[in-house]
Amino acid sequence: MKVGLEIHQQLDTREKLFCACPTRPATGKPDYEFRRVLRATKSELGVVDPAAQFEEVRRRVYVYQGFRDHTCLVEMDEEPPHELNMEALEIGLMCAMLLGARPVDEVVVMRKTVIDGSNTSGFQRTALIALGGGIKLGDKTIGISTLCLEEDAARLVSSDASTGVVTYRLDRLGVPLIEISTKPDITTPEEAGAAAYEIGRILRRLRRVKRGLGTIRQDINVSVEGGARIEVKGVQELSLISKVVSFEAKRQEGLLRLREELRRRVPAVVVSDPVDLTSEFEATQSNTIKQGLKSGGGVFGVRVEGFSGYFKFEVAPGKRFGSELADYARQIAGVGGLIHSDELPAYGVTQEEVDAVKRKLGCSDVDGFVLVVAERTRAERALSVVAKRCAQAIDGVVEETRAAQPDGTTRFLRPMPGSARMYPETDVPYVRVTSETLSRLKSAIPPPLEELESRLVSLKVSSELAKQAVESEWLNVLETMLAEAPEAAQLLCSVLTQDVRELSREGVGVDELPDHVVLELLRGAVRKGLLRDQVKQALRLVATSSRSVGEALEEISSTTISLGELDAIIESVIDSNKQLISARGAEAFKPLMGDVMKLVRGRAPGSIVSQRLAQKLRERTERVSAQG
Amino acid sequence: MCVLGESRLEGYHGLAYRKLVEAGVNVGDTVEVSFGDESFVGRLMPRVESDDDSVVTIKLPNGYNIGLSVVDASVRLVSPAGGLHQQPPVEEAVGFGAGEYVALISTGGTIASRVEYETGAVRPALRASDLMSLVPELEGISRLKTQVLMSILSEDMKPAYWERIARAVYSELEAGAAGVVVAHGTDTMGYTAAALSFALRGVDRPIVLVGSQRSSDRPSSDAYTNLLCAVKFAKESFRPGVYVCMHASTSDPTCAVIPGVKVRKMHTSRRDAFKAVNTRPVAFVDRDKLVFLDESSKGYVVGGGVVFKPGFSDKAALIEYYPGFSLDILNWLAEKGYLGVVLAGTGLGHVSSELVDGIARLRRSGFLIYMTSQCLYGRVNMNVYTTGRRLLAAGVVPLGDMLPETAYVKLSWALANYPLEEVDGVMRSNLVGELSARSVYSGEWT
Ligand SMILES: [Zn+2]
């Protein structure tokens, strides 16, 4: 198995890559909307890119939503791009140095054709800034092929297959991305996961990358022996990478097995022209078909020679060839789905109807058929896609771009783009990268995370927590706070790792809080000497209500007590129960706990109260016995 | 936009040029650039002239272009490619019956160019086959007869070219075209539209100028819609006159058709840069429909047959007045042999009262002076303030709601086609809709 990764990470720059708009996402409703169409353009040689043509065939109308504070005429493709954002380029070059890649001497911005509407211009601006280098996984080196700087695409809002209207928000369009592509040196699913993790760690070391869901996206190229290169797009979680790789490898192996079986049965897969079968279903009891006919469609079908039994062929766990076919029909022709002979009779389709269809299509026993219920042109388009894919089954794996699903499986997205889809962006001047620039940047690279980790340990943070802390997406906040209040290291690490994780698992939108808000909150908490649990509550309050940081801290400290106050209560209870303690020793804990909790009146969690009480009690009894 | 020449090392000079010549390399060849133990192989790409002379640009096999400094590198020819292919635009002669086709004349600009995908260089091209492949829907609208009249940048347009375009349009109409579409760069399209309006006064068929604000290589180009709508209007509107057809808004499907003497480019880059000034569009067009805003064609001499006067003089000038403006400028024009000037004055049509005496002297010497407003919207009225009245007395001729650019084109045309003593009269009269008697309220100002 050969696997290559393409990691896309959003950079945390002040401005976008080719305009002065901010890179933070917009909240709230868009300020304006406009509509566009995109066309596939022929290259010099009169060749239209297959991926581009595929999108054009779908005849989409794109609606774009803009925001006065987040998008300008550049994102609208109404103004030429400004010059390349130097802040982004510098981050990219620092990353190149960390990967041991060789920066180019002059950066040339290119246009990469993308006409799914996610770029208003119909292309994505991208520049190759460094080549080569690698990362270490134990003894093995995974080579890096290229490092590119590119603009992020618009965010998909909705897509209506029946009207062909696709809606995008423009706030994300133009946010700088760094794209790191590895060589296909990865050979196992586990290695893929480890490589992605290592690259993520190098990126985080730069301290200039965005955090939160969707700010890092992985594309994976997978090919098994005898298979073909498959590009899987849009893996958003690190943990899914090895899963996606192993699913995709199994799928390709499945397709190869199908190929072998097919080759034993037929020399080539022949598919008939589409036939109108509506009259065969005039009196049907099938709800699916009845509904399709009622909305003005018909039943159309093709005979697939020698294919009987292969539609239900399991190409990967839980994925039959028939459902692969349905993915193509849905994606390309926009039909709801299809029905194949291996699953009939079912869905209210009777054996008599199946027989009638077979007669009309002229199916022999080894032939299969596929039905589509839709309006004629759409159905015919779907069936021609089906015919093509069935015919290709005898070749094995088809090169294509697939989309990763949240469960780790993949689905057909579009044909693989051709290589002729790139040409220079003539509106942006070249940028010279001099050795002076490089040496200046080299000295500006932040220290490795290991350094921070050992500093945390020296500040009495457990090594386990320190390890987690340097992995935290809140690294920048943590470092800023450490500089101001190193004595609070333990609290800061706990809050910025476990607590924020727990909060976001509960659905509290803590990830969306801007860095400066969290910083302000932590500063206040440290100043007031709040407990870890109180800090967590304050975070929750700020993220879920309209309270300001000051209000939240005030509210938490008035409804909760600080560590000092808690200790004072405990001391006073111990003082007034000296006899009980000397009589019952450790046994005194339970009644004392009851007394303390009464005085605390719910202003501190029981776990902390019991922990502090136990500690104070131990101190007291030790002192007493030492004195005695 | 750069239109590249024929050199085999386009854009290279200095050190990089010398090393490439030494290595016997041309643009398009596959080369190896080596730095000791490290080397890069790719195809040599042309460069933009003004760049660093120590860098070569190569296209890597993955499609990306990168720049490499050759100061410490050696260059070696790996395999020659015979240069990048170029197809010269070809005219296509096709026999059509009268009224069956639209004639498409290309003068240059973004709409009449296509990009060379490897280099990104923009080259002129406008064959019927190019257009049909660009906009296949054209086939359902009209047959097309195309010619590449000239391939110049919009900013290089001049009065002599207006005459060439006018003659080409006239002969296409004579030959029986249902209408004529003129593909033009957008920067000066308004001027050429005005020029054709005067040169072909009384024309009985539509002449439509069209351009694009986004080059046609990009999938988002406005060229498709604009061209489609222009050809549709030329073929189906039966509306005589000269118009500009461009995007009506930032959204794609609809174009506005605006009278050629009342149109102005009002934005540097937006698709809907062209606005009707002191009037409104005559129609909105999209792929499926053509909606007229106003069924009449007032102000046009219709039915009298075309009065073909294609001459333009280069002895007219257009000057925008500004605080601090010196009479020297006008005196210089007169000394250099200019016959007249259109002033874009302030507000209702003013220049500094200190200039009045000097202007009166110039007028007396036979130098023609016309007044329009730099406000663009609204009309001049020189009776309201003293300075205006004094300028009128000095012989300045007010031009109502005529756009300064239209007035300049008209002056250039009038000077070439009428005796000097008739020019004032020509300038004052409404020939093709350039002057309107009424200022119609157009709604809230935005
Ligand atoms: Zn912007």
Q: What value of ipTM does the predicted structure carry? A: 0.91
Average pLDDT value for chain B = 89
Determine the average pLDDT of the residues in B213-241.
92
8 Å CB contact between B307 and B201: yes
Average pLDDT of chain A is: 90
Q: Which of A203-207, A518-522, A591-595, B172-176 has the lowest mean pLDDT?
A: A591-595
Q: Is A419 on the interface with B (CB under 8 A)?
A: yes
Among B115, B218, B269, B271, which would you mutate to test the A interface (most chain A Cβ atoms within 10 Å of its Cβ)?
Answer: B218
Confidence of residue B91 (pLDDT cuts 50, 70, 90): very low
DSSP-derived letter for residue A209 is: B
- How far are the Cα atoms of A166, A301, A376, A379, A610 from residue A333, in angstroms, in the given order? 15, 15, 11, 8, 65
Cβ-defined contact of B270 to A73 (cutoff 8 Å)? yes
The lowest-confidence range among A48-52, A211-215, A280-284, A428-432 is A48-52
Q: Which residue has the higher pLDDT, B414 or A239?
A: B414
Q: Which residues of A touch B116 (CB under 8 A)?
A: 44
Whether B94 has a pLDDT exceeding 80, the answer reads no
Min Cα distance B218 → chain A (Å) is 6
Listed in sequence order, the residues at least 6 apart from B372 whose beta carbon sits closer than 8 Å to its beta carbon are B342, B343, B344, B345, B349, B380, B399, B402, B403, B404, B407
Nearest residue to B143 via CA among B188, B100, B95, B105 = B100
Average pLDDT over residues A300-324: 92
Cβ–Cβ below 8 Å for A423 and B118: yes
Question: Which of A525, A512, A445, A507 has its CA nearest to residue A473?
Answer: A512
| A457-477 per-position pLDDT tens digit | 999 999 999 999 998 889 889
Quote the CA–CA distance of B260 and B276 in Å, as a whole number: 9
CB A310 within 8 A of CB A369: no
Among A73, A113, A123, whose Cβ lies nearest the Cβ of B269?
A73
Q: Which residues, at least 6 apart from B164, have a Cβ–Cβ distance to it below 8 Å?
A: B149, B150
Q: How does pLDDT run across B382-392, given as a tens digit for each residue?
A: 999 999 999 99
With CB atoms and an 8 Å threshold, state whether B69 touches A39: no
Confidence (pLDDT) at A43:
47
Contacts of B286 in chain A (CB under 8 A): none
* Chain A positions in Cβ-Cβ contact with residue B42 (cut-off 8 Å): none
What is the distance in A from the centroid of ligand 1 to the CA of B257? 30
Confidence at A511, pLDDT banded by 50, 70, 90:
confident
Contact B64 A422 (CB under 8 A): yes
Fold of A267-396: Gyrase A; domain 2 (3.30.1360)
Instruction: Identify whether the C-beta of residue A37 lies closer than 8 Å to the C-beta of residue A60.
Output: yes
Residue A266, pLDDT above cutoff 70: yes
User: What is the arithmetic mean of pLDDT over B208-217?
Assistant: 91
At residue A592, the 3 state secondary structure works out as helix
Average confidence (pLDDT) over B85-111 = 70
Share of chain B above pLDDT 70, in %: 87
* Spacing, Cα A184 to ligand 1 middle (Å): 36
CB contact under 8 A, A422 and B253: no
CB contact under 8 A, B62 and A419: yes
A545-598 residue pLDDT tens: 888 999 998 888 777 777 778 888 888 888 888 888 888 877 888 888 888 888
Query: Is the Cβ pair A122, B253 closer than 8 Å?
Result: no
Selected residue of B1, B60, B87, B117 to mutate for chain A interface (largest A Cβ count, 10 A):
B117
By C-alpha distance, the chain B residue nearest A35 is: B251
User: Chain B within 8 Å of A377 (Cβ-Cβ)?
Assistant: no
Q: How far apart are CA A557 and CA B111, in angstroms?
A: 67
CA of B249 to nearest chain A CA: how many angstroms apart? 9
Which of B68, B119, B214 is closest, CB to CB, to A424? Answer: B119
Q: B232 an active-site residue?
A: no
Average pLDDT value for residue range B89-113:
74
Report, as an integer, the average pLDDT of A486-515.
91
pLDDT 10s digits, A1-32: 999 999 999 999 999 999 999 999 998 899 99
Nearest alpha carbon to residue A408 among A255, A242, A251? A242
| A420–B contact, CB cutoff 8 A | yes
Q: Which residue among B40, B51, B225 places its CB closest to the CB of A430?
A: B51
Q: Tell me which amino acid residue A92 is.
A: G
Domains, chain B, in order of start with CATH, read 14-84 (2.30.30.520), 88-308 (3.40.50.1170), 316-428 (3.40.50.40)
Q: For chain A, give the percent of residues with pLDDT over 90.
A: 63
User: Which of B30, B107, B146, B186 is the catalytic position?
Assistant: B186
Structural domain boundaries in chain A: 10-182, 267-396, 447-560, 564-627
Residue B13, pLDDT > 60, answer yes
Band of residue B301 on the pLDDT scale cut at 50, 70, 90: very low
CA–CA gap between residue B168 and residue B160 (Å, rounded): 13
Residue numbers in B near A425 (CB within 8 A): 120
Which tens digit of pLDDT belongs to each residue from B57-77? 999 988 899 999 999 999 999
Read off the pTM.
0.85
Active-site residue, from B110, B119, B188, B406: B110
Is the pLDDT at A498 greater than 70? The verdict is: yes
Report how far ligand 1's centroid is from the alpha carbon of A73 (Å).
6
User: Would residue B110 show up in a list of annotated catalytic residues for this protein?
Assistant: yes
Give the tokens for residue B351: 């220049």
| List of E strands, A86-239 | 102-103, 106-107, 109-113, 123-131, 134-137, 140-151, 155-160, 165-169, 176-182, 216-223, 230-235
Contact of B301 with B307, CB cutoff 8 Å: yes
In angstroms, the CA B212 to CA B210 distance is: 7
Q: How many CB atoms lie within 10 A of CB B189?
A: 28
- Nearest one of B43, B19, B18 to B31, comparing CA atoms: B43
Quick one: which H or E segment has residue A437? Answer: helix A435-444
Distance of residue A502 Cα from the nearest chain B Cα, in angstroms: 44
Nearest to B370 by CA among B416, B310, B330: B330
Smallest Cα distance from A45 to chain B, Å? 9
What is the distance between the alpha carbons of residues B210 and B263, in angstroms, rounded to a whole number? 12
The residue of chain A with its CA nearest to that of B46 is: A424
Q: Any catalytic annotation for residue B186?
A: yes
* Helix (H), strand (E) counts: chain B: 10, 23
Model confidence band, residue B82 (pLDDT cutoffs 50, 70, 90): low
For B134, which residue in chain A has the nearest alpha carbon?
Answer: A41
Chain B environment of A39 (Cβ under 8 Å): 219, 221, 224
Residues in A closer than 8 angstroms to B62, CB to CB, are: 128, 146, 419
Q: Which position has the token pair 């290119």?
A: A110
Q: Tell me if chain B has a CB within 8 Å of the CB of A77.
A: yes
Is the peptide bond prior to A345 cis by the omega test (within 30 degrees of 0)?
Answer: yes
**Does B270 contact A78 at a Cβ distance shorter than 8 Å?**
yes
Which range scores top for mean pLDDT: A34-38, A62-66, A479-483?
A62-66
pLDDT at B49: 67
Angstrom distance (rounded) from CA B342 to CA B406: 10
Output the CA–CA distances (angstroms, integers) from residue A540 to A317, A516, A521, A549, B368, in the order listed. 41, 16, 11, 11, 77
- The total number of residues shown for chain B amounts to 446
Distance CA A601, CA A615 (A): 20
- Give DSSP secondary structure letters for A16-66: -SSSS-B-SPP-S--SEEEEE-------TTSPPPHHHHHHHHTT-EEEEEE
Catalytic member of B19, B265, B275, B410: B265
* HEC sequence for A438-487: HHHHHHHCCCCHHHHHHHHHHCCCCHHHHHHHHHCCCHHHHHHHHHHCHH
pLDDT score of B334 more than 80: yes
Query: Which residues does chain B have within 8 Å of residue A44's beta carbon, measured at their own beta carbons?
Result: 85, 116-118
pLDDT value at residue B299? 45
- Given a cut of 90, whether residue B216 has pLDDT beyond it is no
Across A154-159, average pLDDT: 94
Distance to chain B for A207, nearest Cα, Å: 27
pLDDT tens readout for residues B22-48 = 999 998 899 999 998 899 999 999 887
> What was the pLDDT predicted at B296?
57
Q: Is the four-CA dihedral A463, A469, A475, A478 of positive or negative sign?
A: negative
Find the mean pLDDT for residues A174-186.
97
User: By three-state DSSP, how is residue A498 classified?
Assistant: helix
Average pLDDT over every residue of A134-157? 96
Answer yes or no: do A105 and B269 touch at CB < 8 A: no
Is the pLDDT at A45 greater than 50, yes or no?
A: no
pLDDT digits (tens, 9 = 90+) for B358-381: 999 999 999 999 999 999 999 999
Residue A355 parent element (H or E): helix A351-361
- Percentage of chain B lying above the pLDDT 90 cut: 71
CB B55 to CB A111 under 8 A?
no
For A257, the enclosing helix (H) or strand (E) is helix A241-265
Give the pLDDT confidence score for residue A55 in this predicted structure: 54
Q: What is the pLDDT of residue B360?
A: 97
**pLDDT confidence band for B148 (50 / 70 / 90):** confident
Q: Considering only A428-437, B200-209, B293-302, which range has the smallest mean pLDDT?
A: B293-302
Any idea which residue has 């809050």 for tokens?
Answer: A495
Q: Is the pLDDT of residue B11 over 90?
A: no
